[in-house]
Amino acid sequence: MNARASAQHYRQTAVQSAVLDASPHRLVALMLAGIRERLQLAAACIDKGDIARKGQAISEASMIIGELDGSLDHKAGGDIAAGLSALYAYAQRRLVEANLHNDPDRLKEVDGLIAEIEGAWNAIAPAAP
């Protein structure tokens, strides 16, 4: 196994451990961070001309956004859940456009939106036991 494969294996193991040990609040925080990481990777791939990897990163970000949208409790969440769902739908449309046009500005826009959600989510983190 080469150094790159070893590093990738270590990273996957670390992520799996973090997910297994995470509270529901922490899981959402990890998902939001994961979206942002993939958006930034996609923008870097556009700059480098790695279109295949760009598409993969955008697809992964889109899947995570879909999971977050699907986990919303509209009955309990009311207007907040409806607002998040609309924002997630907008983000998904912008990702499709970014992918189609190789547009890092649209990726940065979505990253900014997710960063705002991430900041608000982290601000309401429950106190550690």
What does the pLDDT profile of the chain (129 residues) look like in tens digits? 566 666 665 556 555 555 566 788 999 999 999 999 999 999 999 999 999 999 999 999 999 999 999 999 999 999 999 999 999 999 999 999 999 999 999 999 999 999 999 999 999 988 766
Quick one: DSSP state of residue 125?
A: P
Domain at 23-123: CATH architecture: Up-down Bundle (1.20)
pTM: predicted TM-score of the whole model, two decimal places: 0.83
Domain boundaries in the chain? 23-123
